Amino acid sequence: MRLSFVTIRSIAARLFLTAAAMSSVVLLVASILLTAYYRSEAQEVFERRLDVYLRAIVADVSESGQEGRTGPGQLGDPQFELPGSGWYWQITRLDDKSHEIKASRSLFAGTLPKLSDLGVPAEVGGFRRGYGLGPDGRRLRIVERVIDVGDVGIYLVQVAGSGEEMEEQIARFRFALIVAFAALAIALAIGAAFQVHFGLRPLRQLRRELATIRRGERERIMGGYPSEVAPLADELNLLISANRDILERARTQVGNLAHALKTPLSVIVNEADAAPGQLAGKVQEQAEIMGDQISFYLDRARAAARGGALGAATQIAPSIDAFLRAFSKIYGDKGVIFSGGADPRLRFLGERQDLEEMIGNLLDNAGKWAKSQVTINVSVENDGDGAARPSLRVTIDDDGPGLAPHLRAAATQRGRRLDETKPGSGLGLSIVVDLAAAYGGSLQLNDSPSGGLRAELRLPGF
């Protein structure tokens, strides 16, 4: 699958990969340029070396003729003495039919090809430069020049050298360059990683600050930030403050609406009580239904407002311990034992009264149907989609008769009662569903390992 920056969601990975890619390109281009420059310099040195040898031989022949050349040792390079070394010189007399040849000992019994015969044109000064095959078949760089020494004769002076030595030098330079640049690339990668880690530290600090606000440990973002991040922190603080103001106004308006509606209903009920009759009874009945509906929806609105609040966090263990003690007394005559608990470190991201409303309704419902035992357990688990925010999993098991799968959805509907023999209004489970949904959670009813019903409540927490 083709990798692109669109699929890389980490800013740190993008910055590091960008720096690594740019550094790799720069190092690759630099290595190519340096190798080419070194090759050019090596070739120039090689050519100058050939020219020096040729000019030395030409000068010696011009001064004293071919016979004046006492030996190749005057060139100062012992390679001309070693047979097959790749470095050769040769002097050929052209004005004599015998074409007498005098050569370095390195040529042994071989001869150098003439560049003029190979079609190489002469340069300024009569020099010819080109490539030819040596006596051992190696490719040689040859420099030659024809000189006229007057009565002494006309000579073709040639100097040849193998480029193998130069290529070996270039290969050694290239290897050293690769090693040096590899070490430099590692150092640059480490430096880029450190730079990315150090540069993104304010964002990690900002994330930690937001996490503390979400857990209810702090009300606003604190600390100093760089100029690029500081405006974001300020805007988040303003957003958090605006959110709290909106929720506070919503709570106030919900409370005012509750008082505004309950007062007229109380008047209607009182008037109906004062004038008994069929109509009064009907009015009283409907007024009570309206009161229940108003209470239900006002509670739901308050829960929704609290569910959107930032910074609300509630310890779970104290509430559960209090419920276990209370329900053990309430259902003690029935012989139902309430057990379980939660880790004291666990917290629910929401209001305490909403948590107690949900757990209290579930424990009460389990106590009504249980034969002898109700168990509550709380655990923390991460969402399956890999989200960073964990969730609380509250399970309440009873050993009662259970509930058929096709009736479990109906049991959570508002006002729906599956058995009229049990006390209650039928709003308990539906209230739990609405409160859990307000916090982004859920309620599921499943079979319990103890044989009854399991209520599984999922809520945001840590």
**Residue-level pLDDT at 229:** 81
Strands 373-382 and 337-341: parallel
pTM: 0.53
Side-chain half-sphere exposure of 299, counting CA atoms within 13 A = 19
**Residue-level pLDDT at 2:** 47
More confident position, 151 or 458: 458
Mean per-residue pLDDT, 43-69: 77
The Cα 245–Cα 247 span in angstroms is 5
Rg (CA), the chain: 49
Instruction: Work out whether the CA dihedral 148, 153, 156, 161 comes out positive or negative.
Output: negative
Q: Is the pLDDT of residue 30 over 60?
A: yes
Closest by Cα among 291, 283, 238 to 261? 291
Q: Is the pLDDT of residue 71 over 80?
A: no
Closest by Cα among 265, 262, 293, 260 to 431? 293
* pLDDT > 90: percent of the chain: 14
Distance from chain centroid for Cα 178 = 29
The Cα 85–Cα 349 span in angstroms is 86
| Tens digit of each residue's pLDDT (9 = 90 or more) over 251-305 | 777 777 777 777 777 777 777 777 777 777 777 777 777 777 777 666 666 665 5
HEC letters along 385-410: CCCCCEEEEEEEEECCCCCCHHHHHH
Q: Considering the chain, what is the average pLDDT of its residues?
A: 80
